[in-house]
Amino acid sequence: MQSNHQSDAKVVHPPVTLTAADMVRLLDVKDREIVHLRRQVAWFQRQIFGQKSERRVPEPDGVQGTLGELFEIVPDVPSPAKKSKIAAHEREHKNKNQIDSDDESALFFDDSKVPVEVIAVPNQDAAGLDPADYEVIGEKVSHRLAQRPGSYVILKYVRPVIKLRATQALSCPPAPVGVIDGCRADVSFIAGMIIDKFAYHQPLYRQHVKLQDAG
């Protein structure tokens, strides 16, 4: 019995003293373990309570497969790809040379989509003259893009070209003067574009797309 007590007394170890450096290293290890465990808990929370895209549906017990089973599922002959029919369409190629032409009579729009309003421009040289004193030998056409509330319209100014019988001189009223020199836009269109840009905050590129869709 005395020998047993002596053996038990030998098992008791003296207390271990840690230095400050050992304590710092031990705390650092514990901090890393805590961070790792927190990440694991957060991952499990996302699997259970997260969004559908983050959740992972667990497999029932005994159904979880192995990597080898995945290769057995793959068929030797791949199934044919599905075919879908796409409706044919025609792309309209606009004549860029016609749009950028300096000829005011050239059509820079789709007259099948945009209404055209014809405006007859009187010839001041024929004012007060008898129709027998002159003859209309032709006409010149100018187009301006105008805007009406909620729609666009083309203003077609028709300017008669006359020849005075007495002097055989040709006369034609000048084309309407635009707000910007060389611009085909009417003052109403420019005003509407500025209002859409600054009052309704509609970017210019969206207005350009809207013009293309309107013809």
Tokens linked to 41: 């808990």
Q: Where are the domains of the chain?
A: 13-54, 98-214
- Please indicate whether residue 133 or residue 65 has the higher confidence score (pLDDT): 133
Please check the confidence at residue 61 and state whether its pLDDT lies above 70.
Answer: no
The set of residues, in sequence order, having a beta carbon less than 8 Å from that of 204 and lying 6+ positions away, is: 193, 197
Nearest-angstrom CA–CA distance, 165 and 132: 9
CA-based end-to-end distance of the chain: 112
pLDDT in tens, 119-148: 999 898 888 888 888 888 999 998 888 877
91: confidence class by pLDDT, cuts 50, 70, 90? low
Please compute the mean of the pLDDT values over residues 184-194 and round it to a whole number.
86
- Please indicate whether residue 137 or residue 114 has the higher confidence score (pLDDT): 137
- Please indicate whether residue 99 or residue 83 has the higher confidence score (pLDDT): 83
Q: What is the DSSP string of 18-30?
A: --HHHHHHHHHHH
The set of residues, in sequence order, having a beta carbon less than 8 Å from that of 30 and lying 6+ positions away, is: none
Nearest-angstrom CA–CA distance, 185 and 145: 5
**Whether 173 contacts 136, CB under 8 Å:** no
- Please indicate whether residue 73 or residue 127 has the higher confidence score (pLDDT): 127
Residue 182's identity, in one-letter code, is: G
Please check the confidence at residue 81 and state whether its pLDDT lies above 90.
Answer: no
pLDDT given for residue 13 in this prediction: 61
pLDDT in tens, 14-54: 666 778 888 888 888 888 899 889 888 888 887 777 665 55
Please compute the mean of the pLDDT values over residues 95-121 and round it to a whole number.
72
> Within 10 Å of residue 144's Cβ, how many Cβ atoms?
22
Nearest-angstrom CA–CA distance, 184 and 181: 9
